[in-house]
Amino acid sequence: MKKFDSILKKIFSFFTTFISFLKKITSVAVIRKFDKFLEKIYSTTLIVSCFVIFIIGLIIYGKSQLGWVLPLAILGPILILFIAYLAKDFHEANKDLIKSNTTTIGNAAILNFGAVISLFLSAIFFIFAFIGISEGSLTAVITSLLASLFLFISAGTQFNPTLLNVVVDKKSSAGEDFISIFSLSLKSMLYFEKIISTILLVLGNIILVINLINPSLAYFFSGLGFLSAGIAYPVLIYIFFTIFWFFNSIFLAILSLAKKNK
């Protein structure tokens, strides 16, 4: 029996070392560096998209002679920059929402478990992306890479719950644990809103650049749709989180009263 215990301890020790390695590659420092890198891409992509919209708008107008395309080509970039200006304050507002809404969880075990599963799925989606390349499916490649990226950074927040203002507290009740676990994905979407916005902007630009080669209204509006979604996302996730968290606050208040009455 002692021999088996010794073998099991060695196996568990190996897994502990492996989990420590996973924590290093998804550390707070790595996530913040990635976030800063995307901040630079966000600004560049936004400016480039304005020029591309203007050029494509002129090309489509020249080919189709549709009267409304020319004003769209001229005013579209100005409107996008104005909406981006209004939305920029929401980047900080979303961070403040996370800071002001603390949730607790009794033990980090479920978070570590979720992080490992997320990394495992991230690796699978990354493999799918390579399969998509071999099959020549651009949609499959983009979808798989996006899923892989989101799962990877999501694992980082689960290994480092303080990023989402989730506090590990042994006094946390089962109800509070449930709310923390249930709202984890929503908080992640709020925390990564700049990354999600940037990805949507990049996709919009890719579609618009493809449209330069083969101009069409369908691709033009598709590109504009992704750009609009990327710019508006910080505002939309702020509103969605605020509405959702109103109900969470009610449940947390009820749980708090139950604790006091014990």
What confidence tier does 105 reach under pLDDT thresholds 50, 70, 90? confident
**Cα–Cα distance list, 203 to 132, 164, 235 (Å):** 17, 27, 19
- Beta strand ranges found along 8-140 (DSSP E): 103-105
Cβ count near 117 (within 10 Å):
13
The whole-model pTM stands at: 0.77
CB 115 within 8 A of CB 158: yes
Mean per-residue pLDDT over the chain, rounded: 78
What is the model's pLDDT at position 260?
A: 62
Selection from 232, 229, 209 nearest residue 219 by Cα: 209
What is the model's pLDDT at position 26?
A: 64
Helices then strands (H, E): number in the chain? Answer: 10, 2
* CA dist., res. 51 & res. 67, Å (int): 20
Residue 78 Ramachandran class (φ > 0 left, ψ -120 to 50 alpha, else beta): alpha
What is the model's pLDDT at position 18?
A: 62
* CA dist., res. 32 & res. 197, Å (int): 16
Q: In what helix (H) or strand (E) does residue 204 lie, and over which residues does it extend?
A: helix 193-213
CB 74 within 8 A of CB 137: no
Of 9 and 71, the one with more pLDDT: 71
What confidence tier does 3 reach under pLDDT thresholds 50, 70, 90? low
